[in-house]
């Protein structure tokens, strides 16, 4: 039986599969029983010590603002500090979009002085996951890798996410029932990029929750450098009380605590690659996220500061109370090495 918290994703997926962004995950509203469970979590997890994983150190602040560098400048002015990186997404409409959008993003962000955190589809619409696993698209992968390396001077690490949110059903690489195809395709992607340069760092990213164990689609330690998660605080489906919503996301099956334990068992750093809030009253959720990041030390956290596919933009004034909490938590000028 599907996780009731993923029911309703189909409508959103139909919109999102045609674009480049990752937005909300519509979920059915929590039952009173689940809310009571979350209240118990709030009391039961206070002060619980977690082992600091391999990402120990300053957590990098990454932001997704869409495709306009002007929006990055606006966000940094609002925050009062430069960010450590920009999350960029390439296209998936077809192979022409998949390939052409790499150069588009390189040109778009050239000169900003910010590290690009790439999200690249494992395959575009119309392509075959099984064929990807058999190596049919290795040449395309390698050409994209060469273009990225050529457009990224120096020797710095180049972060790459691919095949993200595979445990949901709205992407062409959804892995349910074809986990081995997904694993093989992910490995082919990594191998192709590594033939071009050792600078690439690869992140494996399930969506939070679900009924299936993401571990069934884990490509293996040799092909994964970072283990991340995507999770949004959507008040349409989670409690209006931000403290309850945060506590539930920590302790739910395949939630934040699962992420830290799964990664720690493999000696991998974690990342909270996509997260966002959509209400002005989410300040307590933002502060809980900051406390969690201070405690667990993920390699980076990526905030979704745009209203594209998820209304999470904090720097525009509509979510001022939550934005104030974000600035208070993350507005200190420091440099992370992620």
Q: Mind telling me the catalytic residues?
A: 165, 274
Query: Which residue in 29, 48, 9, 71 sits closest to 236, CA to CA?
Result: 29
Query: Which residue in 232, 182, 239 sits closest to 29, CA to CA?
Result: 239
Query: Which residue in 59, 83, 60 sits closest to 72, CA to CA?
Result: 83
* Residues 34 and 15 sit within 8 Å (Cβ to Cβ): no
Phi then psi for residue 276, to 5 deg, are -170, 165
Q: Are strands 115-120 and 85-89 parallel, antiparallel or unpaired?
A: parallel
- Within 10 angstroms of residue 208's Cβ, the number of other Cβ atoms is 27
Angle at 279 between CA 61 and CA 332, to 5 degrees: 25
Give the pair of three-digit tokens for residue 139. Answer: 């040449």
Which whole-number Å values give the CA distances from 89 to 128, 161, 270, in the listed order? 20, 9, 20
Query: Which residue in 292, 313, 305 sits closest to 59, CA to CA?
Result: 292
Residue 4 carries which DSSP code? G
Which whole-number Å values give the CA distances from 127 to 130, 137, 154, 180, in the listed order? 9, 9, 33, 17
Reduced to 3 states (helix: H, G, I; strand: E, B; else coil), residue 23 is: coil
* Residues 136 and 128 sit within 8 Å (Cβ to Cβ): yes
Burial bucket for residue 333 (CB in 10 Å: 0-12, 13-18, 19+) = exposed
Which DSSP string corresponds to 246-263? Answer: HHHHHHSTTSHHHHHHHH
């Amino acid at each position: 039986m599907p996780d009731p918290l993923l029911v309703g994703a189909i409508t959103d997926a139909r919109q999102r599969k045609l674009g480049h962004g990752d937005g909300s995950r519509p979920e059915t509203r929590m039952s009173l029983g689940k809310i009571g469970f979350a209240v118990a979590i709030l009391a039961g997890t206070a002060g619980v010590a977690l082992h600091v994983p391999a990402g120990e150190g300053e957590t990098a602040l990454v932001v997704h603002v869409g495709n306009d560098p002007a929006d990055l400048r606006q966000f940094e002015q609002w925050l009062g500090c430069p960010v450590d990186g920009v999350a960029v997404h390439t296209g998936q409409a077809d192979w022409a979009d998949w390939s052409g959008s790499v150069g588009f993003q390189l040109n778009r962000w050239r000169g900003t002085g910010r590290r690009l955190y790439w999200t690249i589809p494992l395959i575009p619409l119309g392509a075959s996951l099984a064929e990807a696993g058999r190596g049919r698209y290795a040449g395309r992968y390698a050409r994209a890798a060469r273009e990225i390396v050529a457009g990224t001077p120096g020797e710095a690490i180049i972060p790459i996410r691919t095949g993200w949110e595979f445990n949901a059903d709205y992407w062409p690489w959804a892995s349910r029932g074809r986990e081995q195809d997904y694993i093989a395709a992910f490995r082919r992607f990594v191998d192709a990029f590594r033939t071009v340069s050792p600078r690439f760092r690869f992140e494996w990213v399930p969506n939070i929750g679900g009924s299936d164990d993401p571990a069934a689609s884990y490509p293996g330690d040799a092909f994964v450098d970072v283990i991340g998660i995507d999770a949004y605080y959507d008040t349409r489906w989670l409690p209006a009380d931000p403290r309850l919503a945060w506590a539930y996301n920590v302790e739910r099956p395949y939630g934040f605590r699962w992420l830290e334990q799964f990664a720690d068992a493999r000696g991998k750093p974690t990342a909270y690659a996509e997260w966002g809030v959509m209400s002005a009253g989410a300040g307590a959720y933002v502060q809980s996220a900051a406390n969690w990041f201070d405690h667990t030390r993920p390699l980076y956290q990526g905030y979704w500061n745009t209203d594209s596919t998820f209304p999470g933009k904090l720097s525009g004034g509509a979510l001022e109370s939550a934005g104030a909490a974000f600035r208070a938590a993350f507005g200190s000028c420091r440099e992370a090495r992620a």
